[in-house]
Structure 1
């Protein structure tokens, strides 16, 4: 097992090394080919067409686009093999000419007859296209002289050392699982035709006369394009794929853009380098010509200059800049000490609400808390603490999570706080407006049954909002054009804002209805002031954001949020809980509000609705005493009215001296205009 494992490791390492070497060799061949293309394009190889007629590349080009010409060449070679290569060139001439006529991509066609034993040329036919005309075999035959060997300099002919096989460095390897009769040459530049060509050569085995044939086609590939940028889905069909990704742009800071207009098809550097988003260059506006980039890269490889790194590498923009032209800042600065101060104060306020909640439950048996429904007071404090925590949600640079926390803390805290206050005020409104002698009793449990659906609707709305259209942060600009993050406001926000405005409008209406109601410890009026305050504060803050500071920076917006929280939440706590805590600290928390009692407000008339918390048994003795007092008042009034009517209808009766209707205690006489005899009604002047 150990030996097998070692063998596997050795094979893997060998494979990696060979693969790396092959990749490096392929890269060197491509770079060498690009250099040849560059030299041909700028005509720097002056000796090329003096000492050589051809200059071949060493990269493969897909030949699928020329499949039709290849099939015709294979068919013609099969025909020549079947009929034989004769000493006369009539058949060869007809085949070569017809190949040229049948396909516009074929630039020239040639057929050679060679002595199989000596290798000397017996006869040849060579047709080529000049513009739209075909040039016959006379002129071109001067290149191939009969009785001599075919010169191996031709890129389309086999090397003498590889005869009879055509597997020479001149030819590309054929595709796998595909059988060709011949071989495609590597791309090469022809000085005679001044074009880039590829040739397809097919050997024909010797026949009965000892002659072997050779058929070759030249395909014009000058229309193909050298695109060195990365391969994309929108690549043109004429692009040579082997050169994709060979550009010399700095990939980390710039990207390659194919520019077909700046150079001929067969040119190196036929592209432009443009700085990526978030990068800039003080040179050339961040757009570099690919030809210059190629030259600078070559000079760096030869250790001549560092221009490629100094000029053609883009510089990173300042943090937060998507695009830039210099090192100017793009992000607004956050005054962290200032924001931390406001955050600490807000969190301290939230902690104080929890301490106040504990203080209230510790003294919940005192009348000042007992008659005000401790459960609703606790809910109010919890909602206020939630609204304070909004300052923690908007403290950092906003992102998706902080925006979600902002929406939940703001809207849920508002709903909890003001629903609890409005439920208490609504109970007072119902109790105050009742016209019957029967007293309306709404317990805390009944109010909670009304409050829970309201909170449930808010939870469903916020949950649906978070899941279906998660709040995110977007970039906005301040007065100086600097960007910072702010939570997106869309129709979810607008719909919820409209709902909260309607909710506040209903609360204001309820508070207006109880404006003259008297309650113990004046709680109804203080809650009304709190609700009026939140409505005014929100209207003012909206006006500040829209009209006064429409493009305020992040620090001003954070300060405005702090002011809104303090003016609304802290004021609410001060109005609702301040007097109660003050009375408890003065030792008067278990005493009735004498001022309200003097105006006729009984202990049972409070924001609790029944004077006692619902979990305790009612004081039946006190209620019985109050009912007895009311019954005695009603009985006295009935008795008085009976005596008055008796005196009116029996005028002959005279009041007894010292009686109720004597001259001393005589009631006021009120004339009744509806009486026929001008009688009068008596009414007791004093209230009973």
Structure 2
């Protein structure tokens, strides 16, 4: 009698019992993934170059770093599953998701906070540093969850509850995968709830004017992630336990590029298209701020008149003062619009820049 093939407890012939992987297909997928990761890394270098003159691009660098983590699951799935790889798979997914979509959602929150200010004065601006601090709080929560999950998994391994399980296809061929438990369902639910909150912010900021329609692109990215990830997780939990490892690798590959690659394209292509025209970008940004100021002044005027009418204390002087503020905002808005539509006109230097230049001359 000849010995059974590797992985077969019993056999009747020389038929294999373990999955035979397509090495050429897996190598092609890995090569494509490596090229994408290299492109992301080069984009980080380009973004850093522009950040020397545009400090707000630090948030885009953060998104690039998070996307780099989200590209790693395909690399991990290329190799045979192990306890270490199964743990790292969850870590890079959760951290990358929190960094990328946490930054996008917080940027939408910043736009919403400025736009919905009901005071006549300019709302306190949420700087990039403050956004990073809020993102740090989200990451601390994610790290706490992942640490608790890791400790629980290691305790299960000590109790002989395997993290890597053996399963089989419909044809009876065996292979090994990282097992799923209730923690994985909790991770998916947390991701979906976070994306739904981002969807609410997209709806709330749908009327906010923007120079390059950035809130619109961020909204498309969030909804794209929500729909594709929902379908992906359904397939992952139902079909992957009996799906060929090559198809599982392709599934994760398609999910990665359908979500994170699309997100990067939506966020960075408009930025790089306008990177070569700093003057027009500067003018458009000022128009954007003036539009926000005008909207806030209009909202403040409406609320002030409504409040005065409800209290039967209409004061003509107060209404006249509010109208003057609104007229000033309209005049500034008209001037900025004229400058934006006619970039050949000389741009008036702001007082702060003139003061800065005079100090430098001294």
Paired with 2:325 and 2:217, the residues of 1 have a C-alpha distance of 38
- Paired residue for 1:430, among 101, 109, 113? 113
The equivalent of 2:280 in structure 1 is 591
- Paired residue for 2:80, among 376, 384, 397? 397
The equivalent of 1:333 in structure 2 is 20
- TM-fit CA distance, 1:453: 1.5
The equivalent of 2:289 in structure 1 is 602
**Aligned: 1:634 with 2:324:** yes
- TM-fit CA distance, 1:409: 1.4
- Paired residue for 2:33, among 340, 346, 354? 346
Paired with 2:48 and 2:67, the residues of 1 have a C-alpha distance of 17
After TM superposition, the structure 1 = structure 2 runs for residues 492-571 of structure 1, keeping only pairs within 5 Å, are 492-545=183-236, 551-571=242-262
After TM superposition, the structure 1 = structure 2 runs for residues 100-139 of structure 1, keeping only pairs within 5 Å, are none
Change (3 A) 1:480 1:454: same
The equivalent of 2:359 in structure 1 is none
Paired with 1:605 and 1:637, the residues of 2 have a C-alpha distance of 15
Question: Contact 1:479 / 1:553 at 8 angstroms: preserved in 2?
Answer: no
Change (3 A) 1:480 1:603: farther
The equivalent of 1:468 in structure 2 is 152
Paired with 1:412 and 1:636, the residues of 2 have a C-alpha distance of 45
- TM-fit CA distance, 1:551: 2.8
- TM-fit CA distance, 1:498: 1.3
TM-score normalised by L of structure 2: 0.74
Paired with 2:196 and 2:179, the residues of 1 have a C-alpha distance of 26
Question: Contact 1:530 / 1:575 at 8 angstroms: preserved in 2?
Answer: yes
RMSD: 2.7
- Paired residue for 1:455, among 129, 132, 139? 139
The ranges of structure 1 where at least 4 consecutive aligned residues each deviate by more than 4 angstroms after the TM superposition are: 546-550, 593-597, 603-606, 635-638
The equivalent of 2:307 in structure 1 is none
Paired with 1:637 and 1:406, the residues of 2 have a C-alpha distance of 57
Q: Which has the higher contact order (CA 8 A, sep 6+)?
A: 2
The equivalent of 2:357 in structure 1 is none
**Aligned: 1:386 with 2:69:** yes
The equivalent of 2:43 in structure 1 is 356
Equivalent position SS for 1:348: helix
Q: Deviations over 1:2-51 (max 9, x none)?
A: xxxxxxxxxxxxxxxxxxxxxxxxxxxxxxxxxxxxxxxxxxxxxxxxxx
- TM-fit CA distance, 1:636: 9.1
After TM superposition, the structure 1 = structure 2 runs for residues 645-684 of structure 1, keeping only pairs within 5 Å, are none
Equivalent position SS for 1:320: coil
TM-score normalised by L of structure 1: 0.40
Equivalent position SS for 1:476: strand
Equivalent position SS for 2:6: coil
- Number of aligned residue pairs: give it: 293
The equivalent of 1:4 in structure 2 is none
Equivalent position SS for 2:175: strand
Change (3 A) 1:327 1:529: same
Change (3 A) 1:604 1:472: farther
- TM-fit CA distance, 1:543: 3.9
Paired with 2:90 and 2:249, the residues of 1 have a C-alpha distance of 15
Question: Contact 1:342 / 1:562 at 8 angstroms: preserved in 2?
Answer: yes
Change (3 A) 1:548 1:397: closer
- Paired residue for 1:582, among 273, 295, 317? 273
Q: Deviations over 1:603-624 (max 9, x none)?
A: 6969xxxxxxxxxxxxxxxxxx
